[in-house]
Amino acid sequence: MKKIIVVLSLVAFAGSAFAADVIEMKRGVKFDHKAHQGKITDCKTCHEKGPGKIEGFGKDLAHGKSCKGCHVEMKKGPVGCKDCHKA
């Protein structure tokens, strides 16, 4: 029974264990995944379909509801162009 619980726990937390701390995106944008994990406790907030890359992620999603939209809503985080695009 203990082995089953351990295996289920490992599967449940595998996404956070393998996620990169900082993800480098296009145009000089760096995303601190570890920092976001500490602030947003439900992974499904961003990863609606489960662990891994966010399906359909790109400029429209980043500038819309996902990144900028969340920062505006929470009144925390970068919202200006040069806040994210350092290069």
Per-residue pLDDT tens over the stretch 36-62 = 998 998 999 899 888 888 888 999 999
Q: How far apart are CA 44 and CA 68, in angstroms?
A: 17
Taking alpha carbons only, the member of 35, 60, 33 closest to residue 47 is: 33
Nearest to 67 by CA among 41, 33, 21, 38: 33
What angle is formed at CA 26 by the lines to CA 22 and CA 29, rounded to 5 degrees? 50
Instruction: Report whether pLDDT(7) > 50.
Output: no
Distance separating alpha carbons of residues 21 and 34, to the nearest angstrom: 5
Determine the pLDDT at residue 2.
58
Q: Which domains does the chain have, with CATH numbers?
A: 2-84 (3.90.10.10)
Confidence of residue 35 (pLDDT cuts 50, 70, 90): very high
What pTM was computed for the model? 0.67
Residues 20-30: tens digit of each pLDDT: 799 999 889 99
